[in-house]
Structure 1
Amino acid sequence: MKKYAICGVSNRAMGMFLKPMLTTFRGNHKPVALLDSDPLRHRVCKQLYPECADLPEYGPDDFDRMVEETKPDVVIVASRDDTHAGYILKALEHGLDVFTEKPMATTAEDCRRILEAEKASKGKVTVTFNYRYNPIHTRIKEMILEGKIGRVISVDLNWYIDTYHGASYFKRWNRMREFSGGLSIHKSSHHFDLVNWWTGQRPVEVFAYGALNFFGPEGELNPSRRDGRHCTTCDERSVCAYYRRWATRTDDVSAKDDHIGALPLAGKYTGYSPDMCIYDSEIKIEDTYAVTVRYDGGAMLSYSVLFSAPFEGYRLAINGTKGRIETQEYHELSRIPFPVPEQTIDYFPMFGSKETIHVERRPGGHGGGDPALIEDLFLGPDPVRGYPMLSGSADGAYAVATGEAVWRSVKEGRPLRIAELLGIMPEPQPQR
């Protein structure tokens, strides 16, 4: 029986990890401890999952005592982003394995500390990059491994976050770089990890432009320059385009957190508000990026992300020496006010006819990725797959360092080298 301590009793922790432990995998896996800075989160968890009624509760300063009293084998980290590194380092000190939500940390320096600590520990860090497990993304990886497009030389990736989802980041703690690392880390680390995994290459150098176009006090749709407004009580919400798009006068949809929905008592969590004004002056992070990344295998990435778009989804093209892969996804279909096509993969051999590939979909979050990831975590990697999918600490570090290089490049107006941020010697360039 493998035992787990949960650090950060978030909705993600409960739905992604705790629920499977109590149901599908209950024979060999069980939670033994809950740790959170807010006792109300423990209460909500035990209301939702009565099976956890007797689980001991701990605060952030009780980590060592928790380990001594409950003797977990694995620590699951699903707390606020800026707290991840502290819990991971503590777990490694005790020789424990770690499953951590992305991002692994909010700074490259903390990633470096984790990498060093893992080398000295019996424990191993796994970063739960679930987007690798989306069936479309998995098939793209397989096509590259099969040599369909030869050596990958360039990637074009344009990501769009719609006005509902995008605004939600600016209503919550995510809007503070000291808590989230900024959206180039909190969100884009997902995307950078996908590119790293698809190409089988590691990022070397990053240059980026970025701006705050939609949110913050200079947002063009800001009804007036005032701090401290909240959607549920704002006297200007009738003239706020973001509010009016998703709410009526009697149905306050916009005040619901995009990740916790109608979770009981969630709006009363200590220090947590999901409806802060998207135009507050404390907002300093960027909502728009255009990025270029160079990789150690010769590939180049052209990446952009927009956090206030008319629809949610992405456009992807991967070019190789023998062909090209293209796909386009429209996400959150219930929020798109026009018909969209089925997502397929288009394969263009360098010399030959285009092929369109239809990929079988799976139920579950992130396009079916979440259930497959959980199986690998609790059952071990699928022995039939034949290639690695679970992400380790190095994967987490390169994704975070790329995100940090993005926002630092914006601020400093220069390219950033990943080795400079992670404090490692760059790998030798392949001979051409």
Structure 2
Amino acid sequence: MERVVICGLSNRALKMFVEPLIARFHHDNEIVALLDIDPKRHEVCLQTYPALANATFYRPDQFEQMVKETNATMAVVASRDDTHVDYILRGLALGLNIISEKPMVTTSEDARRVLEAEKASKGKVTVAFNYRYNPYHIKIKELIQSGRIGRITSIDLNWYIDTYHGSSYFKRWNRNRAFSGGLSVHKSTHHFDLVNWWINQRPQEVFAFGDLHYYGAKSELNPRLENGRHCGTCSDRQNCSYYRRWFGRNQSTQIKDDHLMAGQDLGAYTGYRPDACVFDEEIDIEDTYVANVRYDGGALLSYSINFSLPYEGYRLAINGTNGRIETQEYHAPSRTPFPVPEQTIDLFPLFGAKETIHVVQKEGGHGGGDPVIQEDLFLGEDPTRPFDVLAGAEAGALSVAVGEAVWKSAKRGAPIRIETLLANKEEV
């Protein structure tokens, strides 16, 4: 029986970890403690899940006390990104197994510290890269693993975030690099991890460009220069294209946020509101990136992401010495202003006819991927698979290092080597 402590009571923590632990995995796991900086989050957690009434509540400075008093064996870390490293290191020092929400940490230096701490601990780190478990992504891994397209030579991955989802990152703490590592870390680590895992090659060097085009005070979409506005009370919201697109003239805003429960008041938590103005001067991250990544097996990645587009999804092409894989996803079809086709995977042999593959999806988030990763996290990885899917600390570190290299390369106009970041020998 694992004795589990939850560090960070975000909506993400409750839905992705707490709820399945209570509903599906309670025979092998018991939540014995809850930790957060804000007692109001604890109140919301207990209101939502009364079964946790016997789980003791602790503050961040009581981590060691919590582990000792509850005899914890596992820590789930789902707090704000920049705080992950503290709980991971403290947990490893006490021999706990760690499940960390992505990104594992926000800097390559912290990633290196985690890797070193894991080597010295009896505990291990698992990173909850649930996007690996999407059935389309599993199928792509199977096709590559089976050699259908030969040795991988190049990957084209273009990711599109719509104006509803994209703007949400600029309404909350993600917009500060000190908290999130920037979106090339907070968001793109998902994508870099997918590529690393698909092709089973190690990233070596990154060259990238990035900028802030849509958000921030200098945006041409800003109706008026002023700091400190909030969507819920803003007098300019009827002149704000982002607000009007999704809320019209409605006075109540249903803000997209992974850290509030559905229907919660915008001021439900202490010192936290997810409706800050997307045109504030304090925004110090980018909303657009293009990047090239070179891998140790010879593969080359061409990647782009944009956080203010009319629809959401991605386009992917993977080229190999024996053929090519293509797929396109339209995410959140209810927010897409046109009919969208079913996602399929097209396989093009180098010398042969195209094969279209229809993938079976299941119930649950990410095409049924979320329930499957939860099984691996809390029951152990499925031993019948021909390849590993669950991600460890090294995968978490490599994805963070690529994400950091992207924004640093964009700032410096120079390539960044991954090994220098993780070895903490980077040239300043």
Q: Same fold (TM over 0.5)?
A: yes
Measure the CA separation in 2 of the matches of 1:385 and 1:267. 45
Measure the CA separation in 1 of the matches of 2:220 and 2:8. 36
Task: For residue 268 of structure 1, give the secondary structure of its aligned residue in structure 2.
Answer: coil
Shift, 1:23, TM fit: 1.1
Partner of 2:240: 240
Partner of 2:405: 405
1:81-121 Cα offsets, whole Å, 9 max, x none, are 00000000000000110000000000000000000000000
Shift, 1:71, TM fit: 1.1
| Identity in percent | 63
- Asked whether the equivalents of residues 216 and 281 of structure 1 are also in contact (C-alpha less than 8 Å), the reply is yes
Q: Give the letter for the 1:129 counterpart.
A: F
Shift, 1:424, TM fit: 7.7
Shift, 1:260, TM fit: 3.1
Shift, 1:269, TM fit: 1.1
Partner of 1:279: 279
- Asked whether the equivalents of residues 325 and 347 of structure 1 are also in contact (C-alpha less than 8 Å), the reply is yes
Within-5 A mapping of 1:226-305: 226-253=226-253, 255-257=255-257, 260=260, 262-265=262-265, 267-305=267-305
Measure the CA separation in 2 of the matches of 1:241 and 1:60. 39
- Asked whether the equivalents of residues 164 and 254 of structure 1 are also in contact (C-alpha less than 8 Å), the reply is no
1:58-81 Cα offsets, whole Å, 9 max, x none, are 001000100110011110000000
Shift, 1:254, TM fit: 5.2
Shift, 1:25, TM fit: 1.1
- Asked whether the equivalents of residues 76 and 100 of structure 1 are also in contact (C-alpha less than 8 Å), the reply is yes
Task: For residue 267 of structure 2, give the secondary structure of its aligned residue in structure 1.
Answer: helix
Shift, 1:257, TM fit: 2.6
Q: Give the letter for the 1:82 counterpart.
A: D
Q: Give the letter for the 1:217 counterpart.
A: A
Measure the CA separation in 2 of the matches of 1:301 and 1:69. 48
Q: Which blocks of at least 5 consecutive residues in structure 1 are unaligned?
A: 426-432
Partner of 1:429: none
Partner of 2:154: 154
Tell me whether 1:317 sits opposite 2:326 in the alignment: no
- Asked whether the equivalents of residues 157 and 316 of structure 2 are also in contact (C-alpha less than 8 Å), the reply is yes
Task: For residue 347 of structure 2, give the secondary structure of its aligned residue in structure 1.
Answer: strand
Measure the CA separation in 2 of the matches of 1:174 and 1:132. 23
Measure the CA separation in 1 of the matches of 2:35 and 2:379. 25
- Asked whether the equivalents of residues 266 and 275 of structure 2 are also in contact (C-alpha less than 8 Å), the reply is no
Partner of 1:132: 132
Measure the CA separation in 1 of the matches of 2:150 and 2:251. 52
**Structure 1 residues 322 and 100: alpha-carbon distance in aligned structure 2, compared to 1, 3 A threshold:** same
Q: Give the letter for the 1:14 counterpart.
A: L
Q: Which blocks of at least 5 consecutive residues in structure 2 are unaligned?
A: none
- Asked whether the equivalents of residues 11 and 258 of structure 2 are also in contact (C-alpha less than 8 Å), the reply is no
Partner of 1:10: 10
Task: For residue 228 of structure 1, give the secondary structure of its aligned residue in structure 2.
Answer: coil
Tell me whether 1:168 sits opposite 2:186 in the alignment: no
Measure the CA separation in 1 of the matches of 2:273 and 2:325. 42
Measure the CA separation in 1 of the matches of 2:282 and 2:254. 20
Tell me whether 1:115 sits opposite 2:112 in the alignment: no
- Asked whether the equivalents of residues 112 and 423 of structure 2 are also in contact (C-alpha less than 8 Å), the reply is yes
Measure the CA separation in 1 of the matches of 2:411 and 2:35. 36
Partner of 2:142: 142
Shift, 1:312, TM fit: 0.4
**Structure 1 residues 161 and 234: alpha-carbon distance in aligned structure 2, compared to 1, 3 A threshold:** same
Shift, 1:258, TM fit: 5.7
Q: Give the letter for the 2:212 counterpart.
A: L
Shift, 1:367, TM fit: 2.2
State the TM-score, normalized to the length of structure 2: 0.97
Within-5 A mapping of 1:28-427: 28-253=28-253, 255-257=255-257, 260=260, 262-265=262-265, 267-423=267-423
Q: Could you say what the CA RMSD is over the residues aligned between the two structures, in angstroms? A: 1.2
- Asked whether the equivalents of residues 101 and 128 of structure 1 are also in contact (C-alpha less than 8 Å), the reply is yes
Q: Give the letter for the 1:292 counterpart.
A: N
Q: Give the letter for the 2:411 counterpart.
A: K
Shift, 1:248, TM fit: 2.6
**Structure 1 residues 286 and 55: alpha-carbon distance in aligned structure 2, compared to 1, 3 A threshold:** same
Structure 1 runs, 4 residues or longer, greater than 6 Å off:
none
**Structure 1 residues 32 and 265: alpha-carbon distance in aligned structure 2, compared to 1, 3 A threshold:** farther
Measure the CA separation in 2 of the matches of 1:226 and 1:12. 31
Q: Give the letter for the 1:412 counterpart.
A: R
**Structure 1 residues 160 and 256: alpha-carbon distance in aligned structure 2, compared to 1, 3 A threshold:** closer
- Asked whether the equivalents of residues 7 and 79 of structure 1 are also in contact (C-alpha less than 8 Å), the reply is yes
1:120-171 Cα offsets, whole Å, 9 max, x none, are 0000000000000000000000000110000001000000000000000000
Measure the CA separation in 1 of the matches of 2:196 and 2:126. 16
Query: Which region of structure 1 is more displaced relative to structure 2, 299-308 or 267-276?
Result: 267-276
Measure the CA separation in 2 of the matches of 1:259 and 1:53. 21
Measure the CA separation in 2 of the matches of 1:204 and 1:424. 15
Measure the CA separation in 2 of the matches of 1:312 and 1:38. 33
Task: For residue 169 of structure 2, give the secondary structure of its aligned residue in structure 1.
Answer: helix
Measure the CA separation in 1 of the matches of 2:232 and 2:311. 24
Task: For residue 253 of structure 1, give the secondary structure of its aligned residue in structure 2.
Answer: coil
Task: For residue 47 of structure 1, give the secondary structure of its aligned residue in structure 2.
Answer: helix
- Asked whether the equivalents of residues 111 and 422 of structure 1 are also in contact (C-alpha less than 8 Å), the reply is yes
Task: For residue 33 of structure 1, give the secondary structure of its aligned residue in structure 2.
Answer: strand
Measure the CA separation in 2 of the matches of 1:265 and 1:59. 23
**Structure 1 residues 213 and 424: alpha-carbon distance in aligned structure 2, compared to 1, 3 A threshold:** closer
